[in-house]
Structure 1
Amino acid sequence: MGEIIIATAVLGVTALIIGILLGVAGEKLQVEVDEKELKVRELLPGNNCGGCGYPGCDGLATAIASGSAKVNSCPVGGINVANKISEVMGVKLEEKEKQVAFVKCGGTCEKSKKKYNYYGIQDCRKAVIAPGGGDKACSYGCLGYGSCVNECLFDAIHIVDGIVVVDKEKCVACGKCVSTCPNNIIELIPDTAEYRVQCISNDKGKDVKMVCDAGCIGCKLCTKVCASNAITVENNLAKIDYNKCINCGKCAEKCPVKIIRKSDTIIINEYLTISI
């Protein structure tokens, strides 16, 4: 009986010592948490989309609290979240121009030609490694299998007539679609840009016409009518400098293949209307 009492006492003393040591270690080794970081994290939406360039909302909150990221770095939260974070950080909010994703391809089912029928996995990143870079005759264009659609957390991208289009009213410019597209045909542009070049091909005009009726042929007619010198043709492709463009629309009027298009609203079906 005495041995049991002694063993119990030893265990009790040992447990007490361990508890004390753990308590002391917890006090000595605890990591101080920045209160501002916690407040910023509470304000962030929690989508963890990575559009800010940091590993999720936790990473962005740490960066903002340390001063290495701007208070308006979250594309999802927008101006409302940015205003609240600026109050927490005690800094003045810098104006940031809203951006939207734009798909630089007009090769719909009717306008683009195909080399063969693809029956593989319905994923652009898989299809692009097929012979010839996919089934489309134009190796630059949208493959239309919706990898970007699956990555978008905001229902801002839809496949319409064989290519993807972006609903700019829903787009938060997180950049997930940009990084997902294997052909790099999606870019972030200013929301105020009314006219966009819907092509990315660098082939010569005659080669473009052989594979697609909606490709830029590098004719330079758009550059001749642009009063603000906002359009240049480089490597057979027209490019718009949005810092110079005044949205006059003369380039779109003159384009013989109509690949410079204006932002518009399209009706996909009776349930879905999107602004592009």
Structure 2
Amino acid sequence: MNITAILTAAGIVATVGILIGILLGIASEKFKVEVDEKEILVREALPGNNCGGCGYPGCDGLAKAIARGEAAVSQCPVGGTPVAEIIAKIMGVSVGDTQKKVAFVMCNGKCDKAVTNYKYSGIMDCNKAMVVPGQGGKACTYGCMGFGSCVKACEFDSIHIVDGIALVDKEKCVACGKCVEACPKKLIELVPYKNRTLVQCNSQDKGKEVKSKCSVGCIACTMCTKVCEFDAIHMNGNVAKVEYAKCTECGKCALKCPVKIILSDKLEAVPEKVEKMSVAN
């Protein structure tokens, strides 16, 4: 065995290794990507669900946007106020308005309320059923089909099909907006958690036609808009729409509604009065 040859080979390998190490060190310094320390801290504060409800591609994308000042510190719907407060301290800003929101389904066409044209036995998926004649068995083409595309989209088990329509569990909902995107009829919206005055209809049909399809559809009588003292409810075409920022939860619109499609705590508190009003109207 030639010792000189072995030492020469070892020397060459060592030299090459040293040269590669030096080159890698130079390259890492020359091409390194500067990472904002605030971005790292913000990312650590985010819950890590990567649901996309913030409008960015996952928590990494949101952290980068917040660190750059392109997104609000309260942008994460899952983390809510607690996470927003942590991020606000990291960014050195105030939290601002971070009121909790929840998803709300603008339909009350349950099995005993909505008229059915035929018994549907096709694919149980709202988006696919949109191309089927009649869009499912229900007569109202504006209402919830009840096939659960929103249920499949929800990662938090906060929305289910109950009695033929989608129903949101307000306590589980994090307002990620996935159900809003999944609904092909745009029946789901994000509303303030504290708001209790909500219109359970989305139909643009006129009064008589609405009643022929659903017993609890908005008939566009405008009684709710006339009785509101705070200009908080208006007609959006043929359906009433609440302006949540103005609503004081007085419940007068719900009490006046002849078809009971406006939810309100006040309505639940005085059922006898409501019954008398509906008969009188």
The TM-score normalised by the length of structure 2 is: 0.87
Q: 1:241 aligns with which of 224, 236, 243?
A: 243
Amino acid at match of 1:220: T
Match of 1:21 among 3, 23, 40: 23
1:23-70 CA distances to partner (integer Å, 9 max, x unpaired)?
A: 221121111111111111011000111111111100111011111111
- The percent of aligned pairs where both chains have the same amino acid is 59
**1:189-242 alpha-carbon deviations (Å, 9 max, x no partner):** 122221111000111111111111111111112222222222222321111122
The equivalent of 1:147 in structure 2 is 149
Tell me the CA shift for residue 142 of structure 1: 0.7
Instruction: Find the counterpart in structure 1 of residue 270 from structure 2.
Output: none
Task: Give 5+ residue unaligned stretches, structure 1.
Answer: 265-276
| Counterpart position of 2:201 | 199
Q: Which amino acid is the alignment partner of residue 262 of structure 2?
A: I
- Residue 115 of structure 1 deviates from its aligned partner by 2.5
Residue in structure 2 matched with residue 46 of structure 1 by the alignment: 48
Alignment partner of 1:86 out of 79, 88, 103? 88
Equivalent position SS for 1:165: strand
Pairs aligned (count): 264
Report if the CA contact (8 A) 2:234-2:242 is conserved: yes
AA paired with 2:60? Answer: D
Q: Distance in 1 between the 2:124 and 2:5 partners?
A: 70
More deviation, 138-147/108-117: 108-117
Displacement of 1:19: 3.1
Q: Equivalent residue for 1:66?
A: 68
Amino acid at match of 1:123: D
Secondary structure of the residue that 1:93 maps to in structure 2? coil
Q: Among residues 32, 36, 57, which one is paired with 2:34 in the alignment? A: 32
TM-score by length of 1: 0.88
1:272 maps to which residue?
A: none
Shift of 1:99: 1.5
Q: Shift of the alpha carbon at 1:263?
A: 5.6
CA contact (8 A) 2:249 2:264 kept: no
SS in 1 for 2:134: helix
What secondary structure, in the 3-state scheme, does the structure 2 residue paired with 1:257 have? coil
Q: Which residue number corresponds to residue 125 of structure 1?
A: 127
> 1:218-229 to 2 correspondence within 5 Å?
218-229=220-231
Alpha carbon RMSD of aligned pairs, Å? 2.0
Asked if the contact 2:251–2:265 (Cα under 8 Å) also holds between the matched residues in 1, the reply is: no
Displacement of 1:14 in angstroms is: 3.6
CA deviation digits over 1:87-134, x for unaligned, max 9?
Answer: 111112212222211100010011112223322332211222212233
Task: Choose between structure 1 and 2: higher strand proportion.
Answer: 1
1:169-184 to 2 correspondence within 5 Å? Answer: 169-184=171-186
Name which of structure 1's ranges 101-110 and 123-132 shifts more when overlaid on structure 2: 123-132
Secondary structure, counterpart of 2:258 in structure 1: coil
The CA deviation at 1:244 is: 2.0
Matched residue SS, 1:133 = coil
Alignment deviations for residues 124-155 of structure 1 (CA, whole Å, 9 cap, x no partner): 11222212233221111111111111221222
- State the distance in 2 between where 1:169 and 1:240 align: 22
Q: For residues 226-276 of structure 1, what are the alpha-carbon distances to aligned partners after superposition, in whole Å with 9 as ceiling and x for unaligned?
A: 222222223211111222222111211121111111269xxxxxxxxxxxx
Deviates more, 1:253-262 or 1:197-206: 253-262
What secondary structure is seen at the aligned counterpart in 2 of 1:145? coil
Find the aligned partners of 2:214 and 2:104 in 1 and give their Cα distance: 19
CA distance in structure 1 between the partners assigned to 2:31 and 2:53 by the alignment: 34
Q: Is the Cα–Cα contact under 8 Å of residues 80 and 98 in structure 2 kept in the other structure? A: no
